[in-house]
């Protein structure tokens, strides 16, 4: 399987350190708990440097994305504090001992690690506690029956089937009002009418209307696998299309899309026994995403950070 997307890998980094900052400059408040601007700045240092210079708008988008990952981390920690499994102190201390041994093998000490990561020993123990709780949560869900069912339902992913899409997107923010979402959908519906009437080719329409860098390439997004490379609603729709078909309007977190399936490459049939580790990894990633969706629905989130 390929690497997980930046949002998931960055989330793993944040969960691993999650240092506590003075909250005099607050980026967001999540169910009463503050996320400091300093946390956003620290997390931004872990985002890979792009090969090409980024614009001011792209930097703001990147900053907003990192804040959303921090919000996710905060929600998971809050959930685990209330509902996480009991973890014996000895389990945490075993993790601390393993960390110390790892540092020693590199000629470093725990104090070196804490200084490098901006942590205290107390914070490190708290992080290990939450990670152990999260692992136990996953273990209770990842039963053999569920993993087999997940494999059966996602054969395109594990077989390595890929599809190539082009899209036209009208964007809106995560917090867009219903009226703004409806306005975007109506605009895209008018574009689809032009396509259906043969007034425009899809590539030309993408160049004219799409609010995505891919517009310059006629909306071409290249090949993708079934999961983790695109929003689930986008990917699910794409894999259901026949080559040459254009979808109805598809809504994701970032906007509304028209999707044109331009190519499909069949994968190689797989056996569960051969991809069991990949099945477990993907099931775990989706399980955590599903938990976050539920937590966000119930959460009170106030964004304080300005562009």
Residues 43-93 have pLDDT tens digits of 888 777 776 777 888 788 888 889 999 999 999 999 999 999 999 999 999
The model's pTM is 0.73
18 backbone dihedrals φ, ψ, rounded to 5°? 35, 55
CB-neighbour burial class of residue 11 (10 A; exposed 0-12, middle 13-18, buried 19+)? buried
Could you say which DSSP state residue 300 is in? Answer: -
Average pLDDT score over residue span 286-303: 94
- Please say if the pLDDT value at position 19 is more than 80: no
Q: What residue ranges define each of the domains in the chain, with the CATH number in brackets?
A: 6-148+276-303 (1.10.4030.10), 162-265 (3.10.50.40)
**Least confident segment among 34-38, 58-62, 119-123, 288-292:** 58-62
What is the pLDDT at residue 22?
A: 46
Share the mean pLDDT of the chain: 90
Query: How many CB atoms within 10 Å of residue 155?
Result: 13
Closest to 301 measured CA to CA, from 82, 18, 79, 75: 75
**Least confident segment among 37-41, 142-146, 147-151, 239-243:** 37-41
- CA quadruple 271, 276, 279, 283: dihedral sign: positive
Q: What are the residues whose beta carbons fall under 8 Å from the beta carbon of 93, sequence distance 6 or more?
A: none
Tokens, residue 228: 């983790």
- Please say if the pLDDT value at position 211 is more than 80: yes
Residues 167-202 have pLDDT tens digits of 999 998 777 889 999 999 999 999 999 999 999 999
Strand order in the sheet with 250-251: 220-224, 162-171, 255-265, 250-251
Closest to 195 measured CA to CA, from 246, 250, 263: 246
Q: What are the residues whose beta carbons fall under 8 Å from the beta carbon of 68, sequence distance 6 or more?
A: 174
């Amino acid at each position: 399987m390929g690497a997980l997307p930046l949002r998931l890998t960055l989330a793993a980094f944040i969960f691993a350190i999650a240092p506590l900052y003075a909250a005099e400059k607050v980026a967001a408040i999540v169910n009463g708990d503050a996320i400091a601007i300093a946390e956003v700045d620290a997390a931004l240092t872990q985002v890979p440097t792009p090969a090409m210079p980024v614009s001011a708008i792209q930097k703001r988008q990147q900053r907003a994305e990192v804040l959303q990952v921090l919000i996710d981390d905060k929600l998971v920690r809050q959930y685990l504090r209330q509902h996480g499994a009991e973890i014996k102190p000895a389990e945490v201390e075993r993790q601390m001992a393993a960390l110390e041994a790892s540092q020693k093998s590199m000629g470093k000490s725990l104090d070196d690690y804490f200084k490098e990561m901006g942590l205290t020993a107390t914070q490190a123990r708290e992080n290990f506690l939450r990670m152990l709780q999260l692992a136990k949560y996953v273990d209770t869900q990842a039963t053999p029956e569920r993993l087999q069912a997940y494999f059966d339902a996602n054969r395109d992913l594990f077989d390595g089937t890929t599809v190539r899409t082009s899209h036209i997107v009208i964007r809106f923010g995560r917090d867009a009002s219903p009226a703004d979402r409806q306005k975007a959908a109506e605009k895209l519906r008018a574009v689809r009418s032009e396509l259906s009437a043969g007034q425009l080719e899809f590539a030309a329409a993408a160049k004219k209307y799409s609010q995505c860098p891919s517009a310059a390439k006629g909306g071409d997004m290249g090949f993708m696998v079934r999961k983790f490379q695109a929003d689930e609603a986008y990917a699910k729709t794409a894999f259901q299309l026949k080559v040459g078909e254009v979808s109805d309007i598809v809504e994701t977190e970032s906007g509304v899309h028209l999707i044109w399936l331009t190519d499909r490459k069949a994968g190689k049939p797989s056996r569960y026994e051969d991809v069991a580790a990949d099945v477990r990894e993907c099931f775990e990633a989706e399980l955590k995403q599903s938990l976050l969706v539920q937590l966000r629905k119930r959460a009170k989130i106030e964004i304080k950070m300005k562009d």
